[in-house]
A and B are shown apart, each in its own frame.
Chain A
Amino acid sequence: MSDPILPFIKTGDRSPYLAGVRCGGCGHVFVGEREICAQCAARGQMAPVRLAETGRLYNFTVVHRSFPGVATPFIDAIVDLDDGAHLKGTLVDIEPAAVRFDMPVRVVFREATPAGADRPYLTFFFLPQEGAAS
């Protein structure tokens, strides 16, 4: 399997997953690993969690101009995962005009080659949840 494009994408024994932590003090779920809570400043109370892979679209924009070599347009999406984490990613397999706030989405893992790189990396995308009522 290729290297992850971001450090919170983990390659587990069976399948990739997104790593997060839940604060025992305030309950906030963070994407990625950390020792101290940015919300309540609790120390030593972070429990590792495997982040949810379903959620709803909180916000989005359609990016038409990006850095050199990056294919556009693409949908830059902010998703509230079902476990309370908040995750930025690219929403694919949908026309921009069909995107709606709060539509259900799921996380999928795929290999892709970033602009300017000479090899693929492991990344994730958001997809519309098929059959789900939006």
Chain B
Amino acid sequence: MSDVYVVGIDMIRFGRYPDRTVPGLAAEAALMALGDAGLAIGDMQALYCGNLGQANGMVGQRMLAEIGQTGIAVTNVANACATGATAFRDGWTAIKAGLYDTVLAVGVEQMGKGLLGGAGGVSPEGLVGSYTMPAMFAHIGMEHTRKYGTTFAQFAQVSVKNHHQSTLNPKSMYRKETPLEEVMGAEMIAYPNTKLMCSVNVDGSAAAVLMAGDKVRRLGLMDRAVRIRASEMSSNPFAERQMAMPDFSGATRLAARQAYERAGLGPEDIDLVELHDCFATAELVHYENLGLCADGEAGRLIDDGDTALGGRIPVNVSGGLLSKGHPLGATGIANIYEVATHLRSAAGARQVEGARIGLTHVVGGGPGMGTACAIHILEKA
């Protein structure tokens, strides 16, 4: 099986673009990624297009109608917050299988403001607990507090870090410092997550050109190529309390173990991580799920600055979902863009010095739905 490389990748600046269309946002990122590779849509043999909001709307085909209808196979993908990463992995899988040697993966989303979900019908919300995303991820943090005594301030510090790091990223939705008092004093949404500890609903798109190793060498594109060392997915294995409290850890641990095995690497080999900080509580829990520290040590990791830019294992130097923004279908490929940019030594002021290997993680789902997790390990070619 061929090694697979990323030869072109880019994202639009995340923000609010209510006057744009979903295929239009997708097309912009696609053209940027093609331009980054020095290729054209006519060079692509298949398209994998991730989007949630218009999952039944043939977004991939509509995007091609804007940039060139070459007749290639289009697969439209929806997989919760793992949508973009799933589209990317579908492209990887097809090249691994030998079907194609050059494919395009795109992730795109256009979102409203405010809480996700809650539309239609008589809801048990409030009478039988809560079904909001902030409440689900509050439980995840509170379970960590129950087990290890993790504090409100430690969770809040994640937001301080990621907001700070976003000030160095021109593609981030927000680029504002948020001191600890401001994060902890912001509107409480679901304890311990305040408004500044919830990811930002934004519009965005990101795209990547994937290519088989032989062709990368033939076209002389290896200089800026990024090798995909592992591409792993999982769904939620059975968890005891899953019907009461959705579980995002089991799937993450499963995919992480598989990814490290496939890459022949361990957490100690990773130079930077972009992980799924949909809420500040989630970031700390995923430190442990991804093996960045032992169970129970996530609070110490954030206290010691280990995961800040310049620390032992920088996490979410892009600003993360908390500040860069979380356009659901685009997030997975945007995370890969961030890591690839560091591996290419092109991340400017937020560059993780000497980065050779990076890991990206997304995990999504909803109350009573289950979980989709995708992890990629990338290496400087």
Contact = CB atoms under 8 A, between A and B. Distances in A.
Nearest to B146: A101
B264 interface: no
Given A76-B138, A89-B128, A124-B128, 12 more contacts: A31-B243, A32-B243, A39-B238, A64-B188, A64-B189, A64-B191, A70-B125, A76-B139, A78-B241, A101-B146, A114-B122, A115-B126
Contacts of A87: 244
A116 B135 contact: no
Looking at A38, A68, A87, A114, the one whose CB has the most chain B CB atoms below 10 A away is A114
B243 A63 contact: no
A123 B191 contact: no
Contacts of B134: 63, 65
A11 interface: no
B124 A59 contact: no
B130 A66 contact: yes
Contacts of B187: 64-65
Interface in A10-44: 28, 30-32, 38-39
Interface residues of B, number: 33
A10 to B, nearest CB: 15
B214 interface: no
A113 to B, nearest CB: 9
B180 interface: no
Contacts of B143: 59
Interface string A67-100: 1101110101111100000111110000010000
Looking at B117, B127, B134, B142, the one whose CB has the most chain A CB atoms below 10 A away is B127
Interface residues of A, number: 44
Interface of B: 115, 117-118, 122-130, 132, 134-135, 138-139, 142-143, 146, 187-192, 238, 240-245
B142 A70 contact: no
A42 B132 CA distance: 32
Nearest to B121: A116
Nearest to B134: A65
A67 B125 contact: yes
A61 interface: yes
B126 A86 contact: no
Contact of B135 (A6, A63, A123): A63
B130 A59 contact: no
Interface of A: 5-6, 28, 30-32, 38-39, 58-68, 70-72, 74, 76-80, 86-90, 96, 101, 112, 114-117, 121, 123-125
Contacts of B135: 61, 63, 76
B126 A70 contact: yes
Nearest to B245: A78
Contacts of B245: 59, 78, 86, 88
A62 B152 CA distance: 13
Contacts of A86: 240-241, 243-245
B22 to A, nearest CB: 25
Nearest to B126: A70
Nearest to A37: B238
A45 B132 CA distance: 34
A2 B237 CA distance: 37
Q: Which 3 A-B pairs have the closest CB atoms?
A: A67-B118, A61-B138, A88-B244
A36 to B, nearest CB: 12
Contacts of B115: 65-67
Contacts of B188: 62, 64-65
B316 to A, nearest CB: 23
Given A86-B240, A86-B244, A88-B245, A5 B190 contact: no
Contacts of A88: 128-129, 243-245
B193 to A, nearest CB: 8
Contacts of B238: 38-39
B124 A6 contact: yes
B125 A66 contact: yes
A67 B197 CA distance: 18
A116 B191 contact: no
Contacts of B124: 5-6, 114, 123
13 contacts: A5-B124, A5-B127, A31-B243, A31-B244, A59-B245, A64-B190, A66-B126, A67-B115, A70-B125, A80-B241, A86-B240, A114-B122, A115-B125
Nearest to B192: A61
Contacts of A66: 115, 125-126, 130, 132
B136 to A, nearest CB: 9
Given A86-B241, A87-B244, A59 B123 contact: no
Contacts of A89: 128-129
